[in-house]
Amino acid sequence: PFRMSFLWLVVIAALVAALLSLTNFGNWIRATGGFNEAAASMGIPVKRVKIVCFMLCSVLAGFAGLLQVLRLGSPLPSIGEGLELQAVAAAVIGGTALAGGIGTVFGAIIGTLLIRTIDNGLVLSRVDANWFKFAIGVLTMFAVIANAWMGKMSRKIKVEAHK
């Protein structure tokens, strides 16, 4: 009942989650995403970490494209056009900070599931496709505002705890 792409998602998500939480390189990624200067002053090779992260993203994007070609049986270069907003929105809705350094693989998956649920619900309701983009935009703005508010509150709590 599951597509092979779903099984690949589970395997890759588990591997990336393990990489981020169980290895020094995962700590380096979070430190680099959180504050470059601090990471560099701790001896982390910031440029190398960024290059490896971009390479990993590129390899995974290529693999996703390969899965789409195998699923459809034909290479359609335009099949993923316009999905950039949804990818960023899924990560932000899942709790990833736009400033970097905060986020989980599980949160991004939850954000993706929420976006797909909204999309399917609007399609089944026969609502105009432009409303989906509006809904994603509103959800993303809400997530960014909530993220900024939570960051502000955590800094306030941290300051009060050190008094």
User: From the centroid of its chain, how far is CA 136?
Assistant: 14
pLDDT tens figures, 50-67: 999 999 999 999 998 899
Question: Phi/psi of residue 93, each to 5°?
Answer: -65, -30
pLDDT tens figures, 61-88: 999 889 989 888 888 888 878 788 888 8
Kind plus residue range of the DSSP H or E element containing 126 = none
Give the span between the Cα atoms of 80 and 78, in whole angstroms: 6
pLDDT tens figures, 115-130: 888 888 888 888 887 8
Question: Do the Cβ atoms of 93 and 111 come closer than 8 Å?
Answer: yes
Take residue 18 and report the two structure tokens written for it.
Answer: 């393990």
Per-residue pLDDT at 161: 62
Locate the domains of the chain by residue range: 1-79, 82-163
Per-residue pLDDT at 11: 94
Per-residue pLDDT at 142: 85
